[in-house]
Amino acid sequence: MGTASWIVAVENFSFWKTFASAQDGWSAATLASTVGLGIFLALLFAALLRPFVAGRVGAILLCVLLIVSASVSHYLDAWGVLFDKGLVRNMVETDTREVRELLSLPAFVDVFWRGILPAALLWFVGIRRAEWKRSTIHTALLGVVAAGVAGALLATSYGTLASTFRNHRELRFQLVPTNYINAVYGYLKGEDLTSGAILQIAPDARRIPSLSARPLVLVLIVGETARAANFSLGGYARETNAALANRDILYFQNVVSCGTDTATSLPCMFSELGAEDFSVRKARERENALDVLLRTGVSVQWLDNNSGCKGVCARVPTQQMPTSGIDGLCGEDACQDEILVRSLEERLKEVKQDTAIVLHQMGSHGPAYYRRYPGPGKFQPTCDTNRIQSCDRQALVNTYDNTIEYTSQNIARIVEAARARAPAMDIAVLYISDHGESLGERNIYLHGLPSMLAPSEQTHVPMLAWLPAQTQERLKLPISCLASVAGQKYSHDNLFSTLLGFFGVATAAYRSDLDVLAIARASRACGNAPQRLTLK
């Protein structure tokens, strides 16, 4: 009972903070319902734990529970994240560099006093071994008392509690330890049933023959953690995209991500499923847009300066960028995104056929934003720590804006590299971010909130394109047509059909209503009918 009470009272600060802020003023009745809820949760957790607690084994279980709960609580409290199976997936798929960036002395101190210290005390005090009959009676008694308290709460505070939990669904993702136990179970359940076989999509896919002998090339830049709110191309007051001025860049104002984390958004944007039907498990068991392009004769290459492609590039040629050894570009355990530009320049020299080159950036990956660009940065002062919640908010925004400004520089370099090769090929550049980021708005940091609860800062992402004149002619798409639809609402769902449409891939899986290029051709500015890619 003591362990359960400690967890409810000390390791659930975020839960109680949200619960308290949801109340319309405080009264004796509200206070009574809050205390009653705390007592009920402590009794419930104690009843659930009691059957597993006996002697040293029980002590080990409770010690682990205390330490894990304290660790989860720290990051819930510090960054306002919510713990769901998506967060578990990100933890499993992360690398050592990302783990190191999450560690700090204050984090250890917090986990020490909330988890390690009580766990050590429990270990040395020990747990008396009780015979099974007494343990069963004790468990039943806890359950009966918990049920009684629950009944009293329903009788006296149903309206308050029902309204609070209905209007604040984030509470279930904040309640320790049920949040992470349910999240781990949900993740394992989804992982357990994968068959290993890869489902072929678009089996009827064929390329529409082109009369041009010039290679058709798309450079697709997948941004990391860039949010549209901080792009000056979209109206942000600070010049974060100055490097892209006067470069014939077309910016898309209203683009929404499929998810709020890389492990979800990255496979989703290349999938034909769409956000509504998407799941990571489904994506893992089927091909994606890159597979279709490769199968229809397009050369596909994936260059990665991040923590991997989350399965998207599993069946295409892939190069992981080095993490050290290049003067001026690499730090302790990562290299700046300019390394992708250098690699792209070499790849473009070798192009002899229609080609798609995907550049997966490190972008604005947090919390160590200050490591994502060469110092000192355009906007000062900066937040040069991974403890971003301890920084002055303007310093934090300055640091994040520096990452966007550096991303803009690299996009500009990529456009110039493409422009240099334009005499030999029909080339285009497309940039889209995987998800956005919270920078302390409403005391929420980073990203990864469940989509149904995520603020727009985490889901509204930037997208931009560059098409030189000869590529516009090849695609039969004047830039004015594309500009006329740039303000429409788009999402990651548009990428699959846009990629197929760019390379003239005809298949039943292609949807002209999701192909941004086809939408532009059908616009009033162009006066054309919607195009459907078909084989004669």
Nearest to 493 by CA among 282, 270, 250: 270
How far apart, in whole angstroms, are the C-alpha atoms of residue 69 and residue 56?
20
| Per-residue pLDDT at 438 | 97
- Which tokens go with 521? 């051709």
| Per-residue pLDDT at 193 | 59
| Per-residue pLDDT at 382 | 98
| Per-residue pLDDT at 138 | 80
* Per-residue model confidence as pLDDT tens digits over 137-176: 888 888 899 899 999 988 988 888 888 898 888 999 999 9
* Per-residue model confidence as pLDDT tens digits over 381-405: 999 999 999 999 999 999 999 999 9
- Kindly give, in sequence order, each residue whose CB lies less than 8 Å from that of residue 120, ignoring residues fewer than 6 positions away: 63
Average pLDDT along the chain? 92
Q: Concatenated DSSP letters for 415-473?
A: HHHHHHHGGGSEEEEEEEES---EESGGG-EES---TTT--HHHHEEEEEEE--HHHHH
Amino acid at the residue 155: A
Residues with pLDDT less than 50, the chain: 536
What are the structural domains, with CATH classification, of the chain? 2-191 (no CATH), 214-467+484-496 (3.40.720.10)
Contact 512, 529 (CB under 8 A): no
| Per-residue pLDDT at 187 | 85
How far apart, in whole angstroms, are the C-alpha atoms of residue 186 and residue 180?
10
| Per-residue pLDDT at 92 | 85
Q: Concatenated DSSP letters for 373-388?
A: SSSS-SSSS---SS-G
How far apart, in whole angstroms, are the C-alpha atoms of residue 310 and residue 434?
12
| Per-residue pLDDT at 195 | 59
- Kindly give, in sequence order, each residue whose CB lies less than 8 Å from that of residue 432, ignoring residues fewer than 6 positions away: 220, 221, 222, 223, 255, 269, 461, 462, 463, 492, 495
Secondary element (H or E) of residue 414: helix 393-421
How far apart, in whole angstroms, are the C-alpha atoms of residue 78 and residue 74?
6
| Per-residue pLDDT at 128 | 66
Give long-range contacts, CB 8 A cutoff, 24+ apart: 116-119. 116/66, 116/67, 116/70, 118/3, 118/6, 118/66, 119/62, 119/63, 119/64, 119/66, 119/67
308: left (phi over 0), alpha (psi -120 to 50) or beta: left
**Given the DSSP bridges, would you call strands 438-439 and 445-446 parallel, antiparallel or unpaired?**
antiparallel
Secondary element (H or E) of residue 185: helix 178-192
